[in-house]
Structure 1
Amino acid sequence: MDKPDPEAVAEEVFAALADPTRRSILATLARNGPATATDLAAWLPITRQAIAKHLNLLAEARLVVAEPGERRRVRYRLDSASMKVAQQYLAALARDWDGPLAALRDHLG
């Protein structure tokens, strides 16, 4: 299987993180650990159905993983692999900017 393109992975991650509700879901999972959509709906001011929709998008971006739980309840946990790829993409982008910014600083300074 081919490795996913880091830029494409980063694009999916950034698109998923663009929504404040999805960021809240990720923060809640980071704080409380794995949870069901029902758990998340109890902790956040959003319906379980909306939570499920957002969880599906987060799973598509590979930021969460769905795991079967007791009595057919699905629990979601954070998956940091895609976030790490996005961080590496941003680090490479920052390195690409270091040279031009230093040259500009020297020119202006």
Structure 2
Amino acid sequence: MPDDIFSALADPTRRSILEMLADCEELPASQIHDQFQVSPQAISQHLKVLLKAKLILVEKRAQQRIYRINTDKMIEFEDWSRSMRQRWGRRLDTFETVMKAEMEKNDKFQKDPEES
């Protein structure tokens, strides 16, 4: 069973469950199951994957299991994602600078090849 966040998020059903939990503060397992046309056991497996990845939390109340998003883990993932976007942004900015310089050199060469 995948235990990392990317494997957990790779499945569209699990992403849908997270979206449902983002819209509601918390939901009982039965209400989550009711939103899908697969067996409750299949949804339970998806919930286990999300729990193992620490994306959701569960609380037992009487006979129910109540699920909610683990906001700490989501913030951690968002921070990592923002850091990656910034790193790639810097790389793309550097690439753009190099490409502009090369295009300017090329334009100059095409205008007056004897000066180059």
Is the structural similarity TM-score above 0.5? yes
In the alignment, the residues of structure 2 paired with residue 12 and residue 84 of structure 1 have an alpha-carbon distance, to the nearest angstrom, of 15
State the 1:21 CA deviation.
0.5
In the alignment, the residues of structure 2 paired with residue 96 and residue 22 of structure 1 have an alpha-carbon distance, to the nearest angstrom, of 28
State the 1:54 CA deviation.
0.7
In the alignment, the residues of structure 2 paired with residue 46 and residue 24 of structure 1 have an alpha-carbon distance, to the nearest angstrom, of 13
State the 1:46 CA deviation.
2.2
2:95 — aligned with what? 104
1:94 — aligned with what? 85
- Greater relative CO (CA pairs within 8 A, separation 6+): 1
The alignment covers a number of residue pairs equal to: 98
Which shows bigger deviation, 97-106 or 18-27? 97-106
2:43 — aligned with what? 51
In the alignment, the residues of structure 2 paired with residue 48 and residue 33 of structure 1 have an alpha-carbon distance, to the nearest angstrom, of 21
Which shows bigger deviation, 83-92 or 56-65? 83-92
Unpaired runs of at least 5, structure 2: 101-116
1:6 — aligned with what? none
Q: Give the percent of matched residue pairs that are identical in Structure 1 and Structure 2.
A: 30
TM-score (norm. length: structure 1): 0.78
Task: Give the secondary-structure state (helix, strand or coil) at the position aligned to 1:29.
Answer: helix
Which protein has the larger Cα radius of gyration, Structure 1 or Structure 2?
Answer: 2
TM-score (norm. length: structure 2): 0.74
After TM superposition, the structure 1 = structure 2 runs for residues 1-109 of structure 1, keeping only pairs within 5 Å, are: 12-70=4-62, 72-109=63-100
Which shows bigger deviation, 58-67 or 92-101? 92-101
Contact between 1:22 and 1:54, CA under 8 Å: does it hold in 2? yes
Q: Once superposed, what is the RMSD of the aligned Cα atoms?
A: 1.7
